[in-house]
């Protein structure tokens, strides 16, 4: 059995883990064997991972992992009650990666952990289902792709619209000319987001390993404004709503427009906080525009909160504009189309169940060792997340930016380029060489 040296992903650290070796499970001995899964991060989205892994035939959740021992114990108790068996627990994901009896991991941690957890899992020979956004910055997304390819791992990004039968049908319609030449996509994220108030720093509770929770992020004092959900609105850990709910819609934009393997060349963003004098750092309202000059296409993306209207009948979704009409994607499983000057109703469909299908698609790819059948391959983690990151950078710098998609660098802008990565905290370092 091949042995993988872990020093490559603990660059710059003095951690004793640097010398540890991990067995690579490059392929299953028997495609019919039970697949044993671990779920990393079980406070919120991790509960969905547990449920949907358990629903897939031949998959068994074996380990739950979270740095919050209180939450971890609660989930283990719920698991035993629901599934009639005990589940093992860990607080440190590195111990999960050391285990030979774990085949796949579901990454449902806060955003700032997604890429490093995925890279470590790939290096340890595990296949990965990683929640959106796949990355916390552009640099991380590229390293995820490199890690998945180098270690021959199956990595599914949690953009489950791509497994929706209705939405796949909608994209086929656009590819076949239903609404003519599709030149623009509009992404909508209108969510009811209340104030998070102002909450002071305080000592971390004894049941939470605050150092592990922060991981790759720069260390700061604990606050209830961060744990366990409102970290989304702080740049150190989250990416605002365009990098939260919005990744489903950024991914839909680039998928529907057919620009899935590139970044826009021009980016502008404007927004701010208008209602709440609270602890959020990210904007409540954000309007971003992205242009792909070579393809003569563009994306408009808008985040709005609180009381707002719906556009095209969608509060969360997408609108695609073509020379013969427009098509509206509503939520995760519904589309409608309208044709011509009279907006004559065209094809439409609503077919639920996309999330379960996304997990099934992942496990099928794991069993067959065929990443080509993935609906949300690792590349989507880079490009759909990256679109959000580019919009956020333009907002934070408050100026129009030019981006070289090939080099994945801003043109002549050192300040913007510095925001394509972050200062990592050893030993939680996303490495240059994966």
Strand partners, 316: 189
Helix axes 111-123, 138-150, angle to 10 degrees: 20
Phi/psi at 163 (nearest 5 deg)?
-100, 0
In this structure, how many other beta carbons lie within 10 angstroms of the beta carbon of residue 277? Answer: 9
Using the structure block, give the residue that is written with the tokens 């990592």: 424
CA–CA distance, 270 with 268 (Å, rounded to integer): 7
The candidate with the shortest Cα–Cα distance to 263, out of 245, 250, 249, is 250
DSSP state of 202: -
End-to-end CA distance of the chain: 20
Helix (H), strand (E) at residue 187? strand 182-191
CA–CA distance, 379 with 130 (Å, rounded to integer): 12
The pLDDT of residue 14 is 31
Calculate ∠ Cα 87-52-381, nearest 5°.
Answer: 110
Phi/psi at 118 (nearest 5 deg)?
-65, -45
The CATH number of domain 162-351+385-410, selected from 3.30.360.10, 3.20.20.150, 3.40.50.720, 3.30.365.10: 3.30.360.10
Calculate ∠ Cα 249-216-138, nearest 5°.
Answer: 40
Compute CA distances 357 → 31, 133, 306, 349, whole Å.
Answer: 19, 19, 31, 17
Where do the domains of the chain lie?
3-160+356-377, 162-351+385-410
Strand partners, 106: 39, 129
CA–CA distance, 336 with 321 (Å, rounded to integer): 12
DSSP state of 13: -
CA–CA distance, 323 with 273 (Å, rounded to integer): 36
CA–CA distance, 432 with 146 (Å, rounded to integer): 10
Phi/psi at 7 (nearest 5 deg)?
-60, -25
The tens place of each residue's pLDDT in the chain, 434 residues long, gives 333 333 332 333 333 333 333 334 434 445 679 999 999 999 999 999 999 999 999 999 999 999 999 999 999 999 999 999 999 999 999 999 999 999 999 999 999 999 999 999 999 999 999 999 999 999 999 999 999 999 999 999 999 999 999 999 999 999 999 999 999 999 999 999 999 999 999 999 999 999 999 999 999 999 999 999 999 999 999 999 999 999 999 999 999 999 999 999 999 999 999 999 999 999 999 999 999 999 999 999 999 999 999 999 999 999 999 999 999 999 999 999 999 999 999 999 999 999 999 999 999 999 999 999 999 999 999 999 999 999 999 999 999 999 999 999 999 999 999 999 999 999 999 999 99
Sign of the dihedral through C-alpha 339, 343, 347, 348: positive
The pLDDT of residue 30 is 59
Helix axes 165-175, 246-257, angle to 10 degrees: 30
The candidate with the shortest Cα–Cα distance to 99, out of 19, 38, 33, 17, is 38
The pLDDT of residue 17 is 33
CATH class of 3-160+356-377: alpha beta
């Amino acid at each position: 059995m091949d042995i993988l040296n872990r020093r490559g992903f603990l660059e710059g650290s003095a951690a004793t883990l640097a010398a540890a070796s991990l067995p690579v499970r490059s392929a299953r001995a028997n495609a019919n064997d039970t697949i044993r899964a671990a779920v990393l991060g079980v406070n919120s989205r991790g509960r969905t991972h547990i449920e949907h892994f358990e629903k897939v035939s031949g998959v068994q959740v074996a380990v739950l992992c979270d740095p919050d021992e209180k939450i971890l114990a609660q989930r283990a108790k719920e698991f035993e009650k629901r599934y009639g068996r005990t589940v093992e627990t860990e607080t440190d994901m590195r111990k999960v990666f050391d285990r030979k009896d774990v085949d796949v991991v579901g990454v449902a941690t806060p955003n700032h952990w997604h890429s490093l957890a995925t890279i470590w899992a790939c290096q340890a020979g595990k296949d990965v289902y990683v929640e959106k956004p796949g990355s916390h910055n552009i640099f991380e997304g590229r390293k995820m792709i490199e890690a998945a390819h180098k270690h021959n791992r199956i990595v599914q990004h949690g953009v489950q619209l791509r497994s929706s039968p209705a939405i796949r049908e909608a994209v086929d319609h656009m590819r076949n000319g239903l609404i003519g030449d599709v030149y623009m996509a509009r992404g909508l994220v209108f969510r009811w987001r209340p104030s998070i108030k102002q909450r002071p720093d305080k000592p971390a509770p004894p049941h939470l390993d605050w150092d592990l929770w922060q991981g790759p992020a720069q260390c700061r004092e604990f606050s209830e404004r961060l744990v366990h959900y409102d970290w989304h609105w702080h740049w150190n850990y989250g990416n605002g709503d365009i990098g939260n709910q919005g990744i489903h819609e950024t991914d839909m934009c680039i998928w529907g427009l057919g620009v899935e393997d590139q970044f826009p060349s021009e980016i502008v963003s404007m927004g701010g906080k208008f209602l709440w004098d609270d602890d959020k750092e990210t904007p409540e309202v954000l309007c971003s525009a992205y242009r792909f000059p070579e393809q003569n296409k563009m994306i408009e993306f808008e985040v709005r909160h609180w009381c707002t209207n719906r556009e095209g009948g969608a509060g969360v979704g997408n609108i695609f504009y073509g020379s013969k009409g427009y098509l509206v994607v509503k939520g995760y499983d519904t589309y409608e189309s309208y044709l011509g000057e009279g907006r004559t109703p065209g094809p439409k469909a609503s077919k639920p169940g996309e999330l379960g299908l996304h997990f099934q698609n992942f496990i099928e790819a794991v069993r067959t060792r065929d990443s080509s059948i993935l609906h949300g391959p690792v590349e989507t983690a880079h490009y759909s997340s990256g679109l959000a990151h580019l919009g956020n950078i333009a907002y934070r710098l408050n100026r129009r930016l030019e981006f070289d998609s090939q080099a994945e660098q801003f043109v002549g802008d050192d300040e913007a380029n510095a925001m394509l990565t972050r200062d990592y905290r050893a030993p939680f370092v996303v490495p240059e060489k994966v």
